[in-house]
Amino acid sequence: MLRSRNALVVLIAALCAIGAGVYVVIAAAGSRGEPEAATLAPTKQEAARLSPVAAGPQAKAVLVRAVDPERATLEGRIYRADPAGGGTPELQKDPACLRFYQAGGSALCLTVARSGVDFRAKIMDRTGRVRHTLTLTGVPSRARVAPNGRLGSMTTFVTGDSYTTPGQFSTRTTVLDMAKGRPLVDLEKFAVTRDGKRIQSQDFNFWGVTFARDSDEIYATLATGGHHYLVHGRVSTRSFEVVRDNVECPSLSPDGTRIAFKSRDGRPWHWRLHVLDLRTGADVATAETRPIDDQAEWLDNTRLLYGEGVDVWAVPADGSGRPQRFLADAASPSTQR
């Protein structure tokens, strides 16, 4: 396992929930195992296969949360990485986060208070200045911010601590007004319809929100009755419509035409990373065959970023190519456009 020569050790609060006092080691770059790390510029052959979809605007940077390989579930400071991958990231923000996402000049950092038992959400501006702080009801799981920065969402485990225990966990997903720093609505307040009929159940669990450009249109996962539905709706109407089954942690492409998601493939606790074309209904499995338990991030309209192990990886969204390590010892990527 390779690490940066100049590792930065940061002492942080103990996480009572997992019973360990810990530190965060920032490993700026490096590769381990196979395949070897590589830049993400596609070859001419790959570009030809990806040609039906334009790559879109070039990413300016990718923000990541640093990961201590020995204690990957702990907080890490936020670094700015080159969109080509690899290299040595620069320290961007001082707050340490368990989950992080930034878009449209607003950032959401889910963290743990100094007591070690109280979890909090910090709403920050693009410079890292904390504008608002909210108390969380459980262990942080997912964070997203709309492309225009107006709304954000956060998911916490209220009971249980993993999506791998059906019926034994409960989530709470809240949409936030990022400017005012207050909760706007709990997704459990949304009316849900399937095939034109209203459905309701006490076992509803929502997570994995992704926003369209206007921030009002959203997609999410609804788990109920052993199913994991992709739901689509609007914050303004407080409503969802079921789109299809076996979709978790959706992520809308920058051009709004496709959804990246993780799909259970029949093996216990094993998800495959897929891409759904919203226009045609075509469903393509990516070349990443390892079990991915993460909400993917679009680097551009043709490539996905996601966490695997303690690193961030990338893979073409059309099923071609192969996974490539984007950055070692990192998590929670958010592309800055």
The answer to whether residue 41 is domain-embedded is no
The answer to whether residue 36 is domain-embedded is no
Nearest to 230 by CA among 199, 201, 261, 200: 261
Name residue 71's beta-bridge partners.
Answer: 68
pLDDT in tens, the chain (337 residues): 323 333 332 322 333 233 333 223 333 333 344 443 333 433 333 333 333 566 667 799 999 999 999 887 788 999 999 999 998 999 988 889 999 999 999 999 999 876 667 899 999 998 899 999 999 888 888 999 999 999 999 999 786 555 455 555 688 999 999 999 999 999 999 999 999 999 999 999 999 999 999 999 999 999 999 999 999 999 999 999 999 999 999 999 999 999 999 999 877 778 999 999 999 999 999 999 999 999 999 999 999 999 999 999 999 999 999 999 999 999 999 999 9
- Host domain of residue 204: 8-30+57-336
The answer to whether residue 263 is domain-embedded is yes
d(CA 58, CA 126): 19
| Number of domains within the chain | 1
CA separation, residue 3 to residues 40, 73, 82, 178, 311 (Å): 20, 18, 17, 36, 12
The answer to whether residue 1 is domain-embedded is no
CA separation, residue 299 to residues 36, 83, 165, 166, 292 (Å): 20, 8, 30, 31, 17
The answer to whether residue 40 is domain-embedded is no
The answer to whether residue 48 is domain-embedded is no
- Cβ-Cβ contacts under 8 Å for 52 (sequence gap 6 or more): 318
pTM of the model: 0.82
Nearest to 288 by CA among 312, 302, 300, 272: 272
CATH number of the structural domain spanning residue 289: 2.120.10.30
* Amino acid letter, residue 337: R
d(CA 22, CA 77): 14
Chain centroid to CA 61: 16
